[in-house]
Amino acid sequence: MDLNDIEAAISLLVDEMEGDQGDRHEIFMRIQQMLSTMRAEGLPLPEDLVRLEQELGAEFEADLKD
């Protein structure tokens, strides 16, 4: 996956989240997968996407405790 593919995938994820399409858990898992790919390829990670991953992870963890 090259940088253009990753940027397109990020754009699609953002559009899905803004339009409230899809399941938040599915989007979270796709973000995790995308960031893992970027880490494996040694690409810089978008700070806002990393922050979103952390926020969604914390939200889902809190849901499990309730």
Domain limits, the chain = 3-65
Task: Return phi, psi of residue 45, to 5°.
Answer: -95, 130
The pLDDT of residue 14 is above 60: yes
65-to-6, 27, 48, 61 alpha-carbon distances in Å: 33, 21, 26, 7
The pLDDT of residue 36 is above 90: yes
Q: What are the b/e assignments for 44-63, b being 16+ CB within 10 Å?
A: eeeeebeebbeebeeeeeee
The pLDDT of residue 21 is above 60: no
Q: Which helix (H) or strand (E) holds 59?
A: helix 47-65
Indicate the range of 2-6, 14-18, 47-51, 56-60 predicted with least confidence. 14-18
The pLDDT of residue 56 is above 60: yes
Rounded to two decimals, the pTM is: 0.68
Length of the chain, in residues: 66
Q: Calculate the average pLDDT of the chain.
A: 81
